Structure 1
Amino acid sequence: MASSCLKGAFCLVNVLYTITALITAAGAVFFCLAVKEITDLRNYEKYQLDTTVYWPQLLPYIFIAVGALVLFVMCCGCCGVGFENKELLITYNIFITIVILILSAAGAVTVAVAIQESKEFTNETIHDVFKQAQLRVDVAQKFGEFEQALHCCGADGVRNYQRIPLSCCDSKDDITCNDIMNQRKGCIEVANHWIKWIFIIGTTASGVTAFLCVISLVLAISILRSMRMKVVI
């Protein structure tokens, strides 16, 4: 009976941490695409030899890799428990420990470094894109879409423009539009606000996933011990 309860609890926890890991990975994919979309608008000549990888660009890939690793780990765990295979459970314990360490490290880096570094990265990137928008029509159009999506105006605010574009306003009424334009914040400030919250949510999700992984590891060790006791008996 105890063994069945352990197996049931183990499978439930595995499903839960897999769901949280995959949701985090999906969010990381969305964030990667959003970052790439804006960085592709920068001055190519300025960045073509720049091999620096910033944490806002690297962290999402770590969470995506963890999501893929978690699927493999879950398969090892479920097969190990289902077939009562000790080798698979030992493999599971090793890899789930690696997942816990990666998630803990990623969460710590996000809190200690990534949030602050993202401000510098966002500031430099949006300033560069805004300069390109003044020189190229295609970049201006894309930056206008960016302003509409984030409800922001210019890099630092409406003062960046001599003539404020319609992308800084969602209303067709001129009076209302002028009021909205004057209240719009710069895209750097708005982007930093959203990135900060994305990182906070990602860190929280990775913490929840790591916690569930620890519970799963404890259950896996308990199941492994019960299997060894059966062999001795």
Structure 2
Amino acid sequence: MVESCGLKCIKALLFVFNFIFWLSGCALAGVGIWIVIDSESFIQVLDNPLLINAAYIMIGVGGFVLIVGFCGCCGALKESKCMLGFYFTMLLLIFLIELAAGILASIYGSDIERYVEKTMNETLQLEYGEKKLVTDAWDEGQLVFECCGTYGYSDYLTSRWIESDRANPSENYPESCCKIADITIGQPTDRAKCYDPTDPMWATEYMNTNGCVQEFKEWVDQRIYILGGVGIGIACLQLFGMILAICLCRNIRSGD
């Protein structure tokens, strides 16, 4: 039986959609692998096994998406109602899990923020200067976000780092708290003035006085609508894929 134009169109759309879906699985698994391999310092800063477990979950979910996308492509090409049914069921399951995760994130968002603040402060107070991975991660974060300490530079005054042997006891915070002219070089704009709070331009030109929690929250807030839009877009694509699978199944049934 010669395929109708509508059936060919549905098959093509479903194949293209699932190829994109398959690529998203590759990306998700890739990010999870990157976190496990290259982000030990970040994991050390937040110091909780849940983070590394989350990375492994991302790898697992990415692999699962790869399988589902492959089934969708094959189901569309071979017009297999069995594969399309499996694909629809798995896509619906993913959609429901994402919906539940979004609801839980909105409910427990404040708890997550408190956890991040608590763990950041604990690693700064107890492990900065003691563990190289933690120290490097804090220094890099302070340079990137242009911040100092969890809530401010005074956090270092109560840390173990302040009690340790240092080259210059008059420096009450690390060099990474200083403003820099070029992040690729990482050198302070003026190291001497960075440690001179009497300078009238100290807080604006030479020293990062804001805490990293505040800067990180602002960074997230500036991008929350983008993240929300991406999430809604992905959900709409998944619904579109389920609708295409149903339509293709009906066309196959009517042609049998």
TM-score for both structures, normalised by structure 2: 0.70
Q: 2:111 aligns with which of 111, 117, 125?
A: 117
Contact 2:46 2:116 in 1 (8 A): no
Higher gyration radius (CA) = 2
Compared with structure 1, are the counterparts of its residues 131 and 33 closer, same or farther at alpha carbon in structure 2 (3 Å cutoff)?
Answer: farther
Residue in 1 that maps onto 2:254: 229
Judge which range, 163-172 or 56-65, deviates more: 56-65
Residue in 2 that maps onto 1:72: 67
Deviation of the 1:187 alpha carbon: 1.6
Aligned-partner Cα distance in 1 for 2:150–2:67: 43
**2:83 aligned partner, one-letter code:** L
Contact 2:148 2:208 in 1 (8 A): no
Q: 2:243 aligns with which of 218, 221, 224?
A: 218
Q: Secondary structure at the match of 1:191?
A: helix
Q: What does residue range 1-233 of structure 1 map to in structure 2 within 5 Å?
A: 1-20=5-24, 22-23=26-27, 26=30, 37-41=41-45, 53=50, 63-113=58-108, 115-133=109-127, 136=130, 138=132, 139-161=134-156, 163-169=172-178, 170=180, 171-174=188-191, 177=194, 178=202, 179-180=204-205, 182-195=207-220, 201-231=226-256
Compared with structure 1, are the counterparts of its residues 57 and 192 closer, same or farther at alpha carbon in structure 2 (3 Å cutoff)?
Answer: farther
Compared with structure 1, are the counterparts of its residues 165 and 228 closer, same or farther at alpha carbon in structure 2 (3 Å cutoff)?
Answer: same
Compared with structure 1, are the counterparts of its residues 33 and 123 closer, same or farther at alpha carbon in structure 2 (3 Å cutoff)?
Answer: farther
**2:89 aligned partner, one-letter code:** I
Number of matched pairs: 221
Compared with structure 1, are the counterparts of its residues 34 and 128 closer, same or farther at alpha carbon in structure 2 (3 Å cutoff)?
Answer: farther
Deviation of the 1:143 alpha carbon: 2.5
Q: Structure 2 regions of 5+ residues with no counterpart?
A: 158-171, 181-187, 195-201
Percentage identity across paired residues of the two chains: 23
Higher relative contact order, structure no. (Cα contacts within 8 Å, ≥ 6 residues apart): 1
Q: Structure 1 regions of 5+ residues with no counterpart?
A: none
Q: Secondary structure at the match of 1:40?
A: helix
Contact 1:25 1:67 in 2 (8 A): yes
Aligned-partner Cα distance in 1 for 2:31–2:87: 26
Contact 2:76 2:84 in 1 (8 A): yes
Judge which range, 73-82 or 103-112, deviates more: 103-112
Contact 2:25 2:66 in 1 (8 A): no
Aligned-partner Cα distance in 1 for 2:234–2:25: 6
**1:110 aligned partner, one-letter code:** A
Compared with structure 1, are the counterparts of its residues 79 and 38 closer, same or farther at alpha carbon in structure 2 (3 Å cutoff)?
Answer: closer
Contact 2:147 2:208 in 1 (8 A): no
Greater helix share, structure number: 1
